[in-house]
Amino acid sequence: MTIAAGVVDRAQRTSPRAPVRRPRRIRKQTVAAWCFLAPSLIILAVFVFWPIVYSFDLSVHRWKFSADAQAWVGMANYERMWRDARFWNALGNTVYYTVFTVPLGIVLPLALAMLLNQAIPLRSLLRSAFFLPVIASFAIVALAWRFMLDPDIGLLAYWLSFLGFPHVSPLRDPNLAMPSVILASLWKNLGFNMVIYLAGLQSIPQVLYEAARIDGANRWQQFANVTWPQLRNTNIFVLVISVIGAFQVFDPSFVMTPGGGPLFSTDTLVTYIYHTGITNLNLSYAASIGIFLFVVVFILTLIQMRLTRAWEQ
Amino acid sequence: MATARTPRIGEDGKEAPGPLFTTVTLIVLGVLALAVVFPFIWMLFTSLKPESEIATYPPRLLPRTWTFENYENVWNRIPFARLFVNSIAFAGGVTVVSLALDSMSAYALARLEFPGRNVVFVLILIALMLPFQVMFVPLFVTVHDLHLLDSFGGLIIPRATNAFGIFLLRQFFVTLPKELDEAARMDGCSEFGIYWRIILPLSGPALATLAVFHFMYNWNDFLWPLLITSSLEMRTLPAGLALFVGSHVIEYGVVMAGAVLALLPLLIAFLFAQRYFIQGIAMSGIKE
């Protein structure tokens, strides 16, 4: 009898709106559930949901940390963004960073993953080597990059001088600072996308390749007709998280080129928010730029959900 | 099948590449791998050079004189021990507390029947999509208003639960057979007992993966400790080292010795628990 009751209860639980046949037990579980959830929900409410709501509130006020009163200013903060050359500069730099890190950060890891998915010697050692930068703190390895590119002590700067680069730090050159940050970021994140692509490649059924080979498909045809279409969802995922991640870049710019870089050439949206809100304590304006970034990320997330769902239907 | 044109099948059932292809691939990958590892090698060798040699031009990769003086000086030129202890307390504290709270929420969402469950789950999914980078300024004000700035409470409490962790464990707990809880309930086991004595012991690998994820993320994190801490005594390693370089006369060798020591714990953990690191990344790829 007890087993049967358990089975009935299970069937009932999986149906969406099952009639409550055991109110006492459900009540007991409800109390237990809210006890289990309470600590997490309180923390998420205070430190995730409230700050988002508070962002919108701040963005329609004018408030410096020092002042007591918050004056309602409506859309003034957003209008100020429209006229703020440093905001547009930061947005432009962020787009510049995104346009280079995202495509290269997809093509290189995919190529690596495909090569490392073959039965070649030293495979796991090579995989670990490419993965190494992923487990390191970006702030700390960015210091190493900064020193390596320093013309007084850096080996990389020394080698670059043989390639005809001037004997100054590329990090102090407005045209070379951002490419240096991009290079360091590609290096840091290579292994991350590689692992995601390896997982994607390994989930492709081998029978598809066998069938393609029986049909006489060469390596390129196998890639174009099996690998690439099968990786569609992985590609969408990698593309969207890469773009979202690129729009939120902070560590390499802040550590390699403090203060926004030469002529603010490496100032990104997040370093500009940090500068505005934390360094200058102009909280309401910083919150408005945060809202702008939030909208961008939100749209990207919606696009990903749309694309993934369209594929599954 | 056994014709001359049949491709050779490798160890894992894949088409085995020919010897020429293998050689070329190995050379290309080897050179690339060396380039990727190079910054770490450079850090290590720089940390083993005397300061005078680091500043000599032209720079060399290998030290002429090998010395451990940077590793001796790092403890008094930088408050390195303090930064290290802070990093352990922050990353370790977040990992332990978050693992507990994440798994409790995941248990409620995966194994308990209660009104409002779907609403809570959707809220978790929304929290998962709200990036920290868009709201760190209001979050800074919130932590300030709670008088938690520049304290371990301020560092750890806002990170004490994680929507991704809840989601990940919930997906794992759902796969465990329901008969386990039913039987335990019949025997009069409390809900906490089921969670603690049945579900958690069966979830070792998922918990280990999440633990590695939490520890690595927080040990390496830069913006959060930079935001919450202001005194050098409260900084963690990434924030402390980066800001030290910004504000003091730099002794490159000492800083690189500190950097090597800061990378070492994760490097050692990676050697022993590589699987969980890779799984953590691969899982974040599956979270779509």
The reply to whether A285 and A141 lie within a common domain is yes
The answer to whether A50 faces chain B, any CB pair under 8 Å, is yes
Of the pLDDT bands very low, low, confident and very high (cuts 50, 70, 90), residue A301 is confident
Q: Which of A11, A32, A59 is the last residue of a domain?
A: A59
Rg, Å, chain B Cα set: 25
Can you list the positions of beta strands (E) in chain B? none
Å between B17 CA and nearest CA of chain A: 7
- Number of domains observed in the structure of chain A: 2
Rg, Å, chain A Cα set: 26
Q: pLDDT tens for residues A33-80?
A: 999 999 999 999 999 999 999 999 988 888 776 666 677 887 888 999
Phi and psi (nearest 5°) for B236? Answer: -95, 175
- Is residue A150 included in any domain, yes or no? yes
| Structural domain boundaries in chain B | 19-73, 77-286
Q: pLDDT tens for residues B174-188?
A: 999 888 888 888 888
CA atoms within a 13 Å half-sphere pointing along the CA-CB vector of A242: 28
CA dihedral A258, A263, A269, A275 (to 10 degrees): 50
Nearest to A233 among B14, B216, B288 (CB): B288
What is the model's pLDDT at position A135? 92
CATH of the domain at A287: 1.10.3720.10
pLDDT at residue B81 above 60?
A: yes
3-class DSSP assignment, residue A71: strand
The answer to whether A78 faces chain B, any CB pair under 8 Å, is no
pLDDT at residue B139 above 60?
A: yes
Tell me what the mean pLDDT of segment B3-28 comes to: 65
Residues above pLDDT 90, as percent of chain A:
55
What is the model's pLDDT at position B287? 44
- Is residue A66 included in any domain, yes or no? no
Query: B104 and A273 in contact by Cβ < 8 A?
Result: no
The reply to whether A240 and A299 lie within a common domain is yes
What is the model's pLDDT at position B216? 92
Query: A139 and B138 in contact by Cβ < 8 A?
Result: no
Rounded to an integer, what distance in angstroms lies between the CA atom of residue B63 and that of residue B69? 13
User: Are B257 and B236 spatial neighbours (Cβ–Cβ below 8 Å)?
Assistant: no
Tell me what the mean pLDDT of segment A198-212 comes to: 91
The answer to whether B105 faces chain A, any CB pair under 8 Å, is yes
Å between B61 CA and nearest CA of chain A: 7
What is the model's pLDDT at position B244? 81
The answer to whether B213 faces chain A, any CB pair under 8 Å, is no
What is the model's pLDDT at position A21? 54
**Which residue of chain A has the CA closest to B34?**
A129
Å between B199 CA and nearest CA of chain A: 14
Query: B222 and A51 in contact by Cβ < 8 A?
Result: no
The reply to whether A30 and A174 lie within a common domain is no
Query: Which residues have a Cβ under 8 Å from the Cβ of A86 and sit 6 or more positions away?
Result: A264, A267, A272
- Is residue A168 included in any domain, yes or no? yes
Query: Which residues have a Cβ under 8 Å from the Cβ of B144 and sit 6 or more positions away?
Result: none
**Is the pLDDT higher at A190 or at B249?**
A190
The answer to whether A111 faces chain B, any CB pair under 8 Å, is no
3-class DSSP assignment, residue B174: coil
**Is the pLDDT higher at B121 or at A118?**
B121
Q: pLDDT tens for residues A247-282?
A: 999 999 999 998 888 999 999 999 999 999 999 888
Q: What is the mean pLDDT of chain B?
A: 87
The reply to whether A178 and A208 lie within a common domain is yes
Of the pLDDT bands very low, low, confident and very high (cuts 50, 70, 90), residue B285 is low
3-class DSSP assignment, residue B9: strand
Measured in residues, chain B has a length of 288
Q: What is the mean pLDDT of chain A?
A: 86
Q: Which of B40, B41, B46, B38 is nearest to B70 (CA)?
A: B46
pLDDT at residue A13 above 90?
A: no
Residues above pLDDT 70, as percent of chain A:
89
The reply to whether A37 and A163 lie within a common domain is no
What is the model's pLDDT at position A160? 83
3-class DSSP assignment, residue A62: strand
Rounded to an integer, what distance in angstroms lies between the CA atom of residue B242 and that of residue B101? 32
The answer to whether B108 faces chain A, any CB pair under 8 Å, is yes
Residues of B within 8 A of A9 (CB-CB) are 182
The answer to whether A33 faces chain B, any CB pair under 8 Å, is yes
User: Are B14 and A119 spatial neighbours (Cβ–Cβ below 8 Å)?
Assistant: yes
Beta-bridge partner residues of A62: A71
ipTM of the complex as predicted: 0.88
Whether a cis peptide bond, with omega within 30° of 0, leads into B58 is: yes
Residues of B within 8 A of A132 (CB-CB) are 36-37, 40
Rounded to an integer, what distance in angstroms lies between the CA atom of residue B77 and that of residue B81? 11
**Which residue of chain B has the CA closest to A293?**
B134
Among residues 164-193 of chain B, which lie with CB inside 8 Å of chain A?
166, 178-179, 182-183, 186, 191-192
The answer to whether A107 faces chain B, any CB pair under 8 Å, is no
The reply to whether A218 and A159 lie within a common domain is yes
Percent of residues in chain A assigned helix, strand, coil, to nearest 5: 75, 0, 20
User: Are B133 and A293 spatial neighbours (Cβ–Cβ below 8 Å)?
Assistant: yes
The reply to whether A32 and A84 lie within a common domain is no
The reply to whether A168 and A264 lie within a common domain is yes
The reply to whether A112 and A244 lie within a common domain is yes
Query: Which residues have a Cβ under 8 Å from the Cβ of A205 and sit 6 or more positions away?
Result: none
What is the model's pLDDT at position B201? 93
The answer to whether B257 faces chain A, any CB pair under 8 Å, is no
- Is residue A233 included in any domain, yes or no? yes
> Could you please report the per-residue DSSP string of A2-20?
HHHHHHHHHHHHHSTT---
Å between A159 CA and nearest CA of chain B: 10
Tell me what the mean pLDDT of segment B148-171 comes to: 94
Rounded to an integer, what distance in angstroms lies between the CA atom of residue B223 and that of residue B234? 14
Q: What is the pTM of this model?
A: 0.88
Å between B67 CA and nearest CA of chain A: 18
Least confident of A125-134, A300-309, B176-185: A300-309
Give residue A94's domain range. 76-312
What is the model's pLDDT at position B15? 56
Q: Count other C-beta atoms under 10 Å from residue A262's C-beta.
A: 18
> Could you please report the per-residue DSSP string of B148-168?
-TTSHHHHHGGGS--HHHHHH
The reply to whether A26 and A155 lie within a common domain is no
CATH class of B77-286: mainly alpha
Å between A97 CA and nearest CA of chain B: 17
Query: A290 and B137 in contact by Cβ < 8 A?
Result: yes
The reply to whether A136 and A212 lie within a common domain is yes
3-class DSSP assignment, residue B55: coil
The answer to whether A147 faces chain B, any CB pair under 8 Å, is yes
The reply to whether A109 and A180 lie within a common domain is yes
Query: B39 and A144 in contact by Cβ < 8 A?
Result: yes
